[in-house]
Amino acid sequence: SQTIHQWPATLVQPVGSPLSLECTVEGTSNPNLYWYRQAAGRGLQLLFYSVGIGQISSEVPQNLSASRPQDRQFILSSKKLLLSDSGFYLCAWNRQRSEKLFFGSGTQLSVL
């Protein structure tokens, strides 16, 4: 069966520090991968999506970047965190040409 792992679950980082959130999917190959963010009091917003290794599309301009070094690994990064980067980050995946999405457990990021 397919599973998605996302870590860490919570993270407190100072302003200006780097960030690396990791998401891996097991039990499938060539998934579409997504990073979403949920700011306090707001709905989920798509940040990045990837349809294959090394292929990253960004939906909104921001302080973050994403990479897909392996087929089932999706990494969200920042060189210098801002206060506005605080929020709940969620990784998700689906099969190519499938509309059913599977979500990770999320990372609550607090930038202080």
Give the binding site for another protein (CB under 8 A).
Answer: 32, 34, 36, 38, 41-46, 49, 57, 59, 88, 90, 94, 98-106, 108
Q: Taking the complex as a whole, how short is the minimal distance between the CB of residue 26 and another protein, in angstroms?
A: 17
Q: Taking the complex as a whole, how short is the minimal distance between the CB of residue 13 and another protein, in angstroms?
A: 17
Please enumerate in sequence order all residues whose Cβ is within 8 A of that of 96, keeping only pairs 6 or more positions apart, or say none.
30, 31, 32, 51
Q: Taking the complex as a whole, how short is the minimal distance between the CB of residue 84 and another protein, in angstroms?
A: 18
Which ranges of the chain does DSSP label H, i.e. alpha helix? none
Alpha-carbon distance 85 to 74, whole Å? Answer: 18
